[in-house]
Amino acid sequence: MDLQILIAVLLGISILLFLILKLKIQAFLALLIVCILVGILAGLPAEDILSTMQEGMGSTLGFVATVVGLGALFGGILEQSGGAKNLARYLLEKTGEKRSPWAMMFTGFIVAIPVFFDVAFIILVPITYALSKKTGKSLLLYALPLLAGLTITHAFIPPTPGPIAVADILGADLGWVILFGIITGIPVAIISGPIFSKYISKKIYIEPQDFTKSSGISEEDLPGPGLICAIIFVPIVLIVTNTILNSPLFQDRSIPSILLYLINILGHPFTALIIANLLAWYFLGVKRGMGKQFLNKTALKSFEAAGIIILLTGAGGAFKQILIRTGAGEMIAQSLNQTFFNPLIFGFLIALIVRLLQGSATVAMITAAGITAPVLSSTTQSSAEISLVVIAIAAGASGFSHVNDSGFWLVGKYLGLTEKQTFKTWTVMTGIISVLGLFVSSVIYSIL
Whole-angstrom Cα distance, residue 240 to residue 268?
10
129 touches 208 (CB < 8 A): yes
pLDDT surpassing 90 at residue 329? no
User: How many Cβ atoms from other residues are within 10 Å of residue 341's Cβ?
Assistant: 15
CB 112 within 8 A of CB 153: yes
Q: Can you tell me the mean pLDDT for 190-198?
A: 95
Q: What percent of the chain has pLDDT over 70?
A: 88
Taking the CB of residue 6, how many other CB atoms lie within 10 A of it?
16
309-328 mean pLDDT: 77
Between 227 and 309, name the one with better pLDDT: 227
pLDDT of 143 > 90? The answer is: yes
Q: Which pLDDT score, from 0 to 100, does residue 332 have?
A: 59
Residue 91, pLDDT score: 74
pLDDT at res. 380: 73
User: In this model, does residue 60 exceed pLDDT 50?
Assistant: yes
Q: Output the pLDDT for position 169.
A: 79
Contact (CB, 8 A) for 425 and 200? yes
Rounded CA separation 134/295 (Å): 24
What's the number of CA atoms in the CB half-sphere (13 Å) around residue 423?
8
Say if residue 255's pLDDT is above 70: yes
Does the predicted model carry a pTM greater than 0.75? no
pLDDT digits (tens, 9 = 90+) for 405-432: 878 988 998 898 998 999 999 999 999 9
Q: What is the mean pLDDT of residues 262-272?
A: 88
Confidence of residue 333 (pLDDT cuts 50, 70, 90): low
Q: Provide the pLDDT for residue 190.
A: 95
Q: What is the mean pLDDT of the chain?
A: 82
pLDDT digits (tens, 9 = 90+) for 4-26: 887 887 888 788 778 877 787 87
Positive or negative torsion for Cα 306, 310, 313, 315: negative
The whole-number pLDDT of residue 325 equals 82
pLDDT in tens, 61-83: 877 788 778 877 887 787 777 77
- Cis omega (within 30 of 0) on the bond before 45? no
Specify the range with the lowest mean pLDDT, choosing from 89-93, 110-114, 142-146, 369-373. Answer: 110-114
Predicted pLDDT at 364: 80
Q: By C-alpha distance, which of 118, 114, 108, 170 is closest to 351? A: 170
pLDDT at 153: 87
pLDDT at 336: 57
Per-residue pLDDT at 374: 66
**277-296 confidence digits (pLDDT tens):** 899 888 888 787 776 777 77
Domain span at 220: 2-447
- Which pLDDT belongs to residue 90? 77
Q: What is the pLDDT of residue 341?
A: 65
Read off the pLDDT of each residue in 321-338 and give the average, rounded to a whole number: 67
- Measured CA to CA, the distance from residue 175 to residue 167 in angstroms comes to 10
CA 16 to chain centre: 22
**What domain count does the chain have?**
1
> Does residue 388 carry a pLDDT above 90?
yes
**pLDDT at residue 212 is higher than 50:** no
pLDDT for residue 47 is more than 80? yes
pLDDT digits (tens, 9 = 90+) for 348-375: 998 898 788 777 777 788 777 877 776 6
**Phi/psi at 44 (nearest 5 deg)?**
-75, 145
pLDDT of residue 391: 95
pLDDT higher than threshold 70 for residue 256:
yes
pLDDT exceeding 90 applies to what percent of the chain? 24
Give the pLDDT band of residue 339 (cuts 50, 70, 90).
Answer: low
